Amino acid sequence: MKSAAITYAHSLFSLAKEENKEQEIFEELTELVGIFTENPEYTVLLDSPTVNVSERCNLVDEAFSACGEYVKNFLKILCEKKYIHIFPECVKEYEKQYNKKLGIEKVTAITAVPLSDELREKLIKKLEKDTGKTIALEQRVDKSILGGIILRTENSQTDASVRARLEGIRTELSSQ
């Protein structure tokens, strides 16, 4: 289904780009992902073969009347194809296209303790300098890494954690 999500998301992004509504549509999609996540039974209803297509499309019109036409029509297409369950993946793919256009790099920083605001800002500035992109930093705490940091992007991971260093030493010692 990932390829279907990619295809649908790229089509929506192309349309958004033509209409210069990339941000507006991205904001609506992001809000809807939260709604669908909080109400998984609604996704099941919109994908249900026992509810006819026109009824499902009417449900979308009623529930999402505040959304723009492009987003509502996108949801209706997914309902017609019984693909509403891939909506979150479509939004992720749309976000990738949106970020690429704006030069935004999503980075996840995993640390043993939360980063201070000052350290967070320093990290963002360093990453922006190194990549030449605007950094959207998400932070996660994982006490099992003991210390240091793990940085993840869409295409890479840098593990400078204490846990990784200890595992490296253990591997080296056991191979001798």
Mean pLDDT, residues 33-56 taken together: 91
Distance of CA 123 to the CA centre of its chain: 21
Q: What is the pLDDT of residues 100-152, one digit of tens each?
A: 999 999 999 999 999 999 999 999 999 999 999 999 999 999 999 999 999 99
User: In terms of DSSP H, where are the helices of the chain?
Assistant: 2-18, 22-38, 40-47, 53-63, 69-80, 87-102, 117-131, 162-174
| Tokens at 104, concatenated | 């935004």
Distance CA 12, CA 87 (A): 12
> Sorting pLDDT into bands at 50, 70 and 90, what band is 175?
confident
pTM across the whole model: 0.81
Which own/partner contact pairs does 143-151 have at CB distance under 8 Å and 24+ positions apart? Answer: 143/112, 143/113, 144/112, 145/110, 145/111, 145/112, 146/112, 147/112, 148/111, 148/112, 149/109, 149/110, 149/111, 150/109, 150/110, 150/111, 151/107, 151/108, 151/109, 151/110, 151/127
Mean pLDDT for the chain? 93
The pLDDT tens digits for 63-81 are 999 999 999 999 999 999 9
H-helix or E-strand spanning residue 110: strand 104-111
Do 5 and 86 contact (CB within 8 A), yes or no?
Answer: yes
Query: What is the spatial distance between Cα 131 and Cα 135, in angstroms, rounded to a whole number?
Result: 9
Give the SS3 label for residue 128: helix
Q: Give the least confident one: 2-6, 14-18, 65-69, 133-137.
A: 2-6
CATH number of 2-99: 1.10.520.20
> What percent of the chain is predicted at pLDDT more than 70?
99
The CATH 1.10.520.20 portion of the chain extends over 2-99
Task: Tell me how many degrees the CA angle 172-170-150 measures, rounded to the nearest 5.
Answer: 105
